[in-house]
Amino acid sequence: MDKKLEKAFNEQIKNEFYSAYLYLSMVAYAEANNLPGAAHWFKKQYGEEISHGMKIFEFLNDRNARVILQAIAQPVSDFSSLLHAFEETLKHEKKVTALIESLVDLARKVEDKAAEIFLQWFITEQVEEEKSAVQIIGHLKMVRPDSAGLIMLDKQLGKRE
């Protein structure tokens, strides 16, 4: 594997684990604010991000490339509302989409077809991630933060499989 691409994949492993850490921070926020459904949703998201990082980790190992883990920054931990947490979710997922697209561009530049094909799964996943956040934000904007609607939405978030 091209060394520049290997380095970029290692950076993305860090980014995926940072994403998990960010969602774990959102779990803490939701639990502290008596929003067990949202906490459940964010825990599921945390698990997905861990699996994404491991998917890249295993891909590098399969390609006989070197995995070098990097330091993970402290995530944001203060959110003014559940809406704010989901707005941060969308903002973050858009950033991840851009990072994955950059990886695809680099894989194309170095003509690594295996890496390009591997990354297609992540491109598709990011469409789903952004869509989910947009839908939840739309629902949150329909309810007042102190209303029964928020409780109902929280229960719905708790049904995520």
The 10s digit of each residue's pLDDT in 20-77 is: 999 999 999 999 999 999 999 999 999 999 999 999 999 999 999 999 999 999 999 9
| 16: nearest Cα among 62, 56, 44 | 56
Q: What is the pLDDT of residue 93?
A: 98
Average pLDDT, stretch 11-22? 98
- In degrees rounded to 5, what are phi and psi of residue 71? -65, 145
Q: Which of the four pLDDT bands, split at 50, 70 and 90, describes residue 144?
A: confident
- CB contact at 8 A, 119 and 103: yes
What type of residue sits at position 25? S
| 74: nearest Cα among 34, 108, 28 | 28
Q: What is the pLDDT of residue 149?
A: 92
pLDDT digits (tens, 9 = 90+) for 97-116: 999 999 999 999 999 999 99
Q: Scan for tokens 């380095």, then name that residue.
A: 7
The CATH T-level fold of domain 3-157 is Ferritin (1.20.1260)
Q: What is the pLDDT of residue 145?
A: 78
- How much of the chain, in percent, has pLDDT values that exceed 90? 98
Q: Is it the case that residue 146 has pLDDT exceeding 90?
A: no
**What distance in Å separates the CA atoms of residue 30 and residue 32, rounded to the nearest whole number?**
5
- Report pTM: 0.95
Q: What is the DSSP secondary-structure string of 109-161?
A: HTT-HHHHHHHHHHHHHHHHHHHHHHHHHHHHHHS-TTSHHHHHHHHHHTT--
What is the overall mean pLDDT for the chain? 97
Instruction: Give the CA angle between residues 139, 38, 81 to the nearest 5°.
Output: 70
